[in-house]
Structure 1
């Protein structure tokens, strides 16, 4: 199918070096708040890229649950494909795509497990059904049928009853500690604005990149 005629111009604004925060976390926060207030669907959704031992990449969408100056946190099954690949190579990339604002943010860094206490704190804040689901999903492993999954879910709910759902030993969070950022703003005629943050001493160097 030829879809080469699909095209639109990016006209919602530009990005100037003088408008950028010196700290990329501050810049991220400013853009994230704008995305949240503009009703961008799922502004916390981010594409996580990992590679397997042979160098084959894989990507999936995960949800950002919190961030600070030290990194960006998401949660997953520690036996999933992404977790196995992170175990082998903790270098990962995150990509936020907010097309309603014609913006992207790329963050590269190293993923590290957070503490069990931190994972438990978040786990206990989830709806009970989501807690149960973490127990019954052998994430990324072959599943014979959806009916089997639903049966396991029902059996686990019945087993737990009114009690609290414990944190699975195979489930928890990762924090991606960044060492590179890129902020992208779409522009007319494909002459987009791109700014690259890289570490420099105790701060960051900011470079404009060709679109």
Structure 2
């Protein structure tokens, strides 16, 4: 991305942040779809526009600059933006690369990062089973036996869920399914995922 393009994306991000903070879903959608009209791909809008704004939501909540209610409301707008962007028939990509189950660790309620991952993988040609937030391990294992995915991607944003993540990783591998683990709980470089035995 060029400096000019990067600056434009930062400006879009600032405008998107202001729109969702104000609860203006129509303005937020206008910003996201305008980026598509200007030539950006859906994946770029998801990863370079919506994801950084979602990260800012978490940072602002952690710093006590927005309330839990604001965090939920802004996240809900981002979730609907993702659905609108990826629900367009023009965004459909036929699965050609295999199947991945994406789920949040039991007790992990922050499902949007896993949702973003799911949609990006779909755009890249994977068949995705997105199970959402706080998936109990026994139910996840039952799904793996039923669906037979090539891998499972586990998400967690909160470090206190790492013991549960460890147990889930072991259970998935015992079911014969390789595990990818990601999210803020596993550190930016993924070192805790490796320490807990994930395959990637």
Structure 2 length-normalised TM: 0.25
Q: Which has the larger radius of gyration?
A: 1
More helix, by proportion: 2
More strand, by proportion: 1
Point out which structure has higher relative CO (alpha carbons under 8 A, 6+ apart): 1
